C-alpha cells in the first residue's frame, strides 16, 4: 500500500500587510562608523530642504517593501538613504510601497567591501526594474572616486 500524499494549496495573500505587520530591522549593524556618519550627514542635509516642502519623506537604513513576491521570499531590502516626494510627512517603521502608493524618488547606497558588488549589480537592477526608482546613486565613503548615479 502506498502512502497518501496531499499537496498544500497555494496560499494567496488576500490583503498585503502594513508597515506595522512587517519586520523593520534585521539586527545587522552598520558596516562602519564612517558609514553611519555618512548616512546621518546625508539625512541631516536633506531635512532642512524637506522642511520647506509640505510633503515628503527622508529615510535611512530601513526596509523597503515593494512586492508580495519579496515577502514570500523574505528578500528584504534596506536602502542606506532614500527620499520620497508627494507623500505626507511623518514617522515610518519601514517604507511600504503599496501602503504609500509611491516608491522612493531617490535611493543612495553607501558601498562597503561586503556590499559593493551587490549594490552595483543586484540592488541596482531591483531598484531600476522592480521598484522603478527614478534616481539611484552609490558612493564609497572610503573611496570618494567610487561615485555613480543613474536615472
The answer for 133, left when phi > 0, alpha when psi is -120 to 50, beta otherwise, is beta
User: How far, in Å, CA of 124 to CA of 138, rounded?
Assistant: 9
Higher pLDDT, 61 or 77: 61
Q: What is the mean pLDDT of the chain?
A: 85
Residue 12 has what pLDDT?
53
Q: What is the mean pLDDT of residues 108-120?
A: 93
Dihedral sign of CA atoms 99, 103, 105, 111 in order = positive
pLDDT of 96 strictly over 80: yes
What residues make up the domain containing 91? Answer: 33-150
Q: Would 105 be classed as within a structural domain?
A: yes
Q: Would 142 be classed as within a structural domain?
A: yes
Q: Would 3 be classed as within a structural domain?
A: no
Number of folded domains in the chain?
Answer: 1
User: How far, in Å, CA of 83 to CA of 89, rounded?
Assistant: 11
In 3-state terms, what secondary structure has residue 99?
helix
**Tens of pLDDT, residues 20-42:** 666 555 555 567 889 999 999 99
Instruction: Enter the pTM of the model.
Output: 0.80
Amino acid at each position: 500500500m502506498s502512502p497518501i500524499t496531499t499537496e498544500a494549496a497555494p496560499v494567496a495573500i488576500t490583503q498585503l500587510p502594513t508597515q506595522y505587520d512587517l519586520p523593520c530591522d534585521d539586527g545587522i549593524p552598520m558596516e562602519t562608523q564612517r558609514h553611519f556618519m555618512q548616512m546621518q550627514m546625508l539625512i541631516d542635509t536633506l531635512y532642512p530642504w524637506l522642511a520647506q516642502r509640505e510633503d515628503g519623506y527622508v529615510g535611512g537604513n530601513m526596509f523597503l517593501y515593494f512586492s508580495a513576491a519579496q515577502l514570500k521570499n523574505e528578500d528584504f531590502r534596506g536602502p542606506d538613504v532614500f527620499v520620497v516626494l508627494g507623500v505626507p510627512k511623518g514617522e515610518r517603521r519601514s517604507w511600504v510601497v503599496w501602503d504609500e502608493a509611491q516608491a522612493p524618488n531617490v535611493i543612495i547606497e553607501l558601498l562597503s567591501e561586503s556590499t559593493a558588488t551587490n549594490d552595483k549589480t543586484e540592488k541596482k537592477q531591483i531598484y531600476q526594474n522592480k521598484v522603478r526608482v527614478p534616481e539611484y546613486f552609490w558612493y564609497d565613503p572610503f573611496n570618494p572616486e567610487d561615485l555613480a548615479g543613474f536615472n
